[in-house]
Structure 1
Amino acid sequence: MSDTLSLLGLFSSSFLSATLLPGNSEVVFAALLTTVETDPLLLLAVAIVGNTLGGLTNVVIGRLAPIPKHHPRLALAMKWLQRFGAPALLLSWLPIMGDLLCLLAGWLRLPWWSVTFFMLIGKSLRYIAVMLITLKGLSFFS
């Protein structure tokens, strides 16, 4: 597979995984780290940018859509955002709950810059952890 196709596939996977659609970009990211000769930092950057843009898509949807009906996870996400504000988006990488946090951040009209900043930090830390675990695992078995 060419580097361009690998990067495009990783971007698509990380973007879609951050939206309401199901996905598992960590598996794609780890697989590419172990199988392609692309710079791991470039793979990391592509995964982070794609996942952050996908999360921001949820924020936009939250700004445009009415608030969904009551759901236990919705109540918890709303409580976190009302208590912590945009820093709660450090947890935007969590499955399901992270999507709700992003949607509600849009619905609550939290400031774009702080939403983007905290989302970027949270998603970056997750991909950095995946990269370190993957690369350390490879060196352990070498």
Structure 2
Amino acid sequence: MTEVLALAVYGYAGLFITSFLASTVLPLGSEALLLLLINKGYEPIFVIMIASVGNYCGACTTYYIGLVGRKDIIEKHMVSSQQHLINAEKWFTKYGAYSLLFTWVPVIGDAITAMGGIMRLDFKTFSVFVLLGKLLRYISVTCMALELLS
């Protein structure tokens, strides 16, 4: 928790960086910092937008790694087991681009993102579904935080 407090000093920039990294190879979450900033009175709409864009940019990095065929990086740093990658492939094959709405889900989310790149999904389609999923997630978290604060 002290790391989150330290990042809060950087405000919106800290939120962007944390959200970006949370959607790449690091096992990191951005929700705690988002909640802290909301609690400190930061503007909720900016918090939502910055966290969403940062998380989307991180997902684009993971997509690119999958696109250029770096399964070794994905298997070593992004998924906790080969089985998660297999499950993501099944999920992606069954639901297609709609599965990208759930790239925020812990454990399998990064694998789904990478699978978009591995399966050479059109980047525009990837972007629409990933950004929408991340935006809806941060709106939900922010609304819950605001409800608890009121």
1:115 to 119, 122, 126: 126
Which residue pairs with 2:136 in the alignment?
125
Q: Which stretches in structure 2 are left out of the alignment for 5+ residues?
A: 1-5, 76-80
2:54 to 46, 50, 53: 50
> 1:23 is paired with a residue of what secondary structure?
coil
Distance 2:71 2:47 in 1: 35
Which residue pairs with 1:63 in the alignment?
67
Distance 1:102 1:89 in 2: 7
TM-score normalised by length of structure 1? 0.89
Contact map agreement 1:85 1:110 (CA 8 A) in 2: no
Distance 1:91 1:130 in 2: 15
Superimposed CA distance per residue, residues 4-30 of structure 1 (whole angstroms, 9 cap, x where no aligned partner): 931100000000001121111010001
> 2:15 is paired with a residue of what secondary structure?
helix
Q: Give 2:83's aligned amino acid.
A: P
Quote the sequence identity (%): 35
Q: Give 1:92's aligned amino acid.
A: T
Matches within 5 A, 1:1-142: 5-36=10-41, 38-67=42-71, 71-139=82-150
The number of equivalent residue pairs is 137
Superimposed CA distance per residue, residues 55-91 of structure 1 (whole angstroms, 9 cap, x where no aligned partner): 1110001112343578221111001111221111011
| Residues 106 and 40 of structure 1: CA distance in aligned 2, closer, same or farther (over 3 Å) | same
Q: Give 1:124's aligned amino acid.
A: L
Distance 2:88 2:109 in 1: 8
Give the superposed CA RMSD. 2.0
> 1:85 is paired with a residue of what secondary structure?
helix
Contact map agreement 1:7 1:46 (CA 8 A) in 2: yes
Distance 1:17 1:71 in 2: 20
Deviation of the 1:31 alpha carbon: 0.4
